Structure 1
C-alpha cells in the first residue's frame, strides 16, 4: 500500500508512547488518526465478517475498513470474495451498506456496468461508444479491485489491504485460541451469525474501547447504578430464589476489588489479549446446562468437554478488529470512523448442534449487557465520551497514565501475563503494538 505523506515524523510518534503513559494527542489528533488508518488498518488483518452471513450465491455484507467501502460476497463457486465496493467507471458504490443479495452479478446502479462476483468485469452498455479508446473489459483497470489478501479461519473472514505481511494465523498468535474455543463450544464445531446486529456510534476514539475491554478497575464504579438496580430487583424476589441470569450478569460488575485482582490478564504480540471471565454460566447444572453438556459429552466426551467449557474468557481483544466473547457467543466489531467517532457492531453467534436455549441465553446477554438500550452499555458510552472531551483540553494535563503494576509483567512463551488482575498490562501491550505499527520502519 502506498504511504501517504504526513506532517508527523517518526520521532514525533515515538515521543507519544512511554512505557507507563501515552500522550493525550493519540486520542484527539486528526493527523494521527489518518496515519493510523494508513499504517495500522492499511496493513494488519481486519475482521470482515463470518461466512455464515453469506450462505448463498450473491449474498453480501457491505462494510468498511478505515473509511474504505468493502463488500464480502459469496461467489458462484462457493468462494467468499472481498472487494472494494466501488465501480471503476465513476466510482459509485455497487451495493449499499448492510446486507442483501445481488444474485449472480454486481450491476452498477449508475450506468449499468456489470461485474462477476469476484469483481472481474462482465460488460457495459453500448460498448461501441468505447471503440478506439483504451477500454477493454479484460483490462484490470475496469475490474472491481480485490483486497490484497483474504483468509478464512473456521468461518471467520479477515482481509488485509497490504500485499505482504504475516499470515492470518501468524498475526492472531495466541488470540486464535479464543476463536477455536468459540467454535469448539458447538457440538459440531461450527457457529453461525444469528439474531441480527446492534449498531452503536460512540463519540470517542477507537482505542478507548479497546483499553476498556480489559479495564478491571472501572466496572464497580462506572456500572454502580446497574449493580444497585440488579440487587434491588433480586431482593424483591421470594426469599431463597436463585438470582436470574439477567440480574447475575449485571451484578457481576459489583464484585469487590480483591475479586478483580485475582483475574488473569494476558497480552499477546500485535496488541491482542484476553481477560478471564467474571463468572462461568457453564459451571451450573440447571436444565439448560444439563441438556447442553449431554450434547457436548456425546460429541467430545467428558474430558474434552470439561476442557472446552473450562476455558473461561470474558473479552478477547483482536487488535484492529474487535472482541469475541466466547462464553456468550458475541463478537463486538470495532470500526473507526473519525478521530472522535467509532462504530460498534455487536453480533451474536448460534452454536450449531446446541440446544436452542443456549442461543436464547446468548441473546439475553446481548440485550442486557451490549444493547444500546441496556442498563450497562450507556454507562460506558458516557465515560468514553468524557475521556474524549477531557483529552481535548490542552492545559489540563498532557499525559494519560498506564502506571498500574508497571514493571511487574511476566513474559511467557505464550504471551505476557500480569501478576495482578487490575494491572494496566493490556493497555501497555496495545500501545507497544501501536508504536511498532506507527513507526514507518515497521509499517510494512
Structure 2
C-alpha cells in the first residue's frame, strides 16, 4: 500500500484502485500530497468546477480573481457582455495579472510588472517599445502572447462553471440530478434570478477537502458534534419561553437518531447528491416571512407552482468538486482545496431578486449563526475536521469505515437513494467517483482524452 506520509512517488492504477473498497477507504486519500497533486490534474483538471456567479461581474471590466483547483483564474465580463474565465498569468514573465479579490479593470487588463495590456477576453493588445521585438518570433496574434482562457466555460442560471479540458460532456449532463437544486434556488425569486450579495465568509480549515464533502451528508455527526450548541440553544429558549428561528436552526442538529434515519439521501453520478431538508416546511409556512415570500411567488407563478417551488425541501446539495448550494437559505459553500491538509471554504450569499427583503435578512441570519468563522456550529465542524486529519497521520490504523447500511440502498434513474437517512451512501458514492476520476475513467468521459 502506498505511503500516507506524502512521499512524491508515482501511483499505478492498481495502487489507486486498491485505496477504495466498497466499505472503506485508505487513510492516504486524505494525507498523501502525491495523491493531492493527482487530484488537481485528474479531477480539478477535467471536471466542471464552479467559478463564480455572473452577478459578481455585472459590468464590462468587472472581474473576480479566484481558483480552479490549484490554478489561479479570473472571472471577467468583456466588452461584448460575455463572461470569460482566464488563467491569472501574464504571458510575458508569468506575473499574476490581477491581485486576489474583485475589482474593475476598465477597458483592458494592464500587467503591473511591464505594462503589457490585454483585451478583457485575454487577447493581446499592446506591449511597450514594440520595436525591441523586431527580428524575434514575437507575434501579437499568436496565442502564446495572450492571456490564456480556460478551455470551456458554461453558465446555468447565472452560475458560471469552467472545465480545463478542451472536450467532454456538457455542464448540464455533468450536473445531472442536482441541477434541480440550482433551478430551485433561482425559482425562489419571482423573476427567476439571484445575485451575490451581503459579502462572503471565508473559513480556512486544516483538513483535506474531501472531509467537508463527506460531512455535508453525514447525518450521524449532527447530534454528537454539535451537542454544545444544541444544549446552549435549548437553554436560551427555555429562558425566553419561546423558540425563535435563530435558535431553532441550531436546535435542529439535536434531533434524535430516529429523525435522521427517516431522511432521504440521494446520490448521483460524478459524486453529486442532495440531502432532504431538516426543517419542517409546514412550520415555515406559518412564518410571516415565508408567507410574504409565497405571496409574491403566487402572483408571479400561480398557486400550484409557488407551492411546488417552496415545497422542494433540501438541506445540503453536493456538486462534487465545487461545493454545496443551499436552496432554502440561499447560499453556496464553495470548497477550494489549497493543499493536502488545507481547504478554504467560501460562503457566498444570494439575494432573490424581487423577493421581500426579509427573505434576504433571513439568509444573512442563517449564515451568521451557522457558517460564520465565529459561529458555535462552524467551530464544532472545523475542530473535528482537523482531528480527522491529525488522526489519519497516526499509526492507529490504515482504513476509514464507510459501512453504514452498505448494500441496502436502492437504485433510481440516474443514481441511488438511501434506505435509511444515516446510510453512508453519499460517502461511498463520492469515493466511487473519486476512484473513477483518479483511474482516468471519468477523465475520459469529462475530458474526452484531452
Report the TM-score, using the length of structure 2 for normalisation: 0.96
What secondary structure is seen at the aligned counterpart in 2 of 1:236? helix
Q: Deviations over 1:31-79 (max 9, x none)?
A: 0010011000000000000000000111111011122110000111110
Unaligned 5+ segments in structure 1 are none
Correspondence for 2:130 among 127, 132, 135: 127
CA contact (8 A) 1:199 1:343 kept: yes
Residue of structure 2 in register with 1:374 after alignment: 375
Give the Cα separation in 1 of the matches to 2:187 and 2:271: 24
Q: Is residue 2:279 matched to residue 1:276?
A: no
Offset of residue 285 of structure 1: 2.3
User: Superposition pairs for residues 258-407 of structure 1, below 5 Å?
Assistant: 258-280=258-280, 283-393=284-394, 395-407=395-407
Report the TM-score, using the length of structure 1 for normalisation: 0.97
- How many residues align? The count is 436
Q: Is residue 2:194 matched to residue 1:155?
A: no
CA contact (8 A) 2:281 2:313 kept: no
CA contact (8 A) 1:260 1:421 kept: yes
Correspondence for 2:216 among 195, 213, 232: 213
CA contact (8 A) 1:410 1:417 kept: yes
Give the Cα separation in 2 of the matches to 1:290 and 1:16: 50
Give the Cα separation in 2 of the matches to 1:249 and 1:215: 17
CA contact (8 A) 2:294 2:310 kept: no
Residue of structure 1 in register with 2:117 after alignment: 114
Offset of residue 290 of structure 1: 2.1
What secondary structure is seen at the aligned counterpart in 2 of 1:297? helix
What secondary structure is seen at the aligned counterpart in 1 of 2:376? coil
Residue of structure 1 in register with 2:66 after alignment: 63
Residue of structure 2 in register with 1:413 after alignment: 413
Residue of structure 1 in register with 2:3 after alignment: none
What secondary structure is seen at the aligned counterpart in 2 of 1:147? coil
Offset of residue 441 of structure 1: 4.8
Q: Deviations over 1:357-380 (max 9, x none)?
A: 000000000000000101100000
Give the Cα separation in 2 of the matches to 1:152 and 1:442: 21
User: What is the root-mean-square deviation in Å for CA atoms of aligned residues?
Assistant: 1.1
Give the Cα separation in 1 of the matches to 2:295 and 2:180: 24
Unaligned 5+ segments in structure 2 are 1-7, 445-450
Q: Is residue 2:94 matched to residue 1:91?
A: yes
Residue of structure 1 in register with 2:440 after alignment: 440
Q: After alignment, is 414-423 or 316-325 more displaced?
A: 414-423
Residue of structure 2 in register with 1:30 after alignment: 33
Tell me: CA distance 1:161–1:302, structure 2 relative to 1, closer, same or farther (3 Å): same
Q: After alignment, is 14-23 or 284-293 more displaced?
A: 284-293
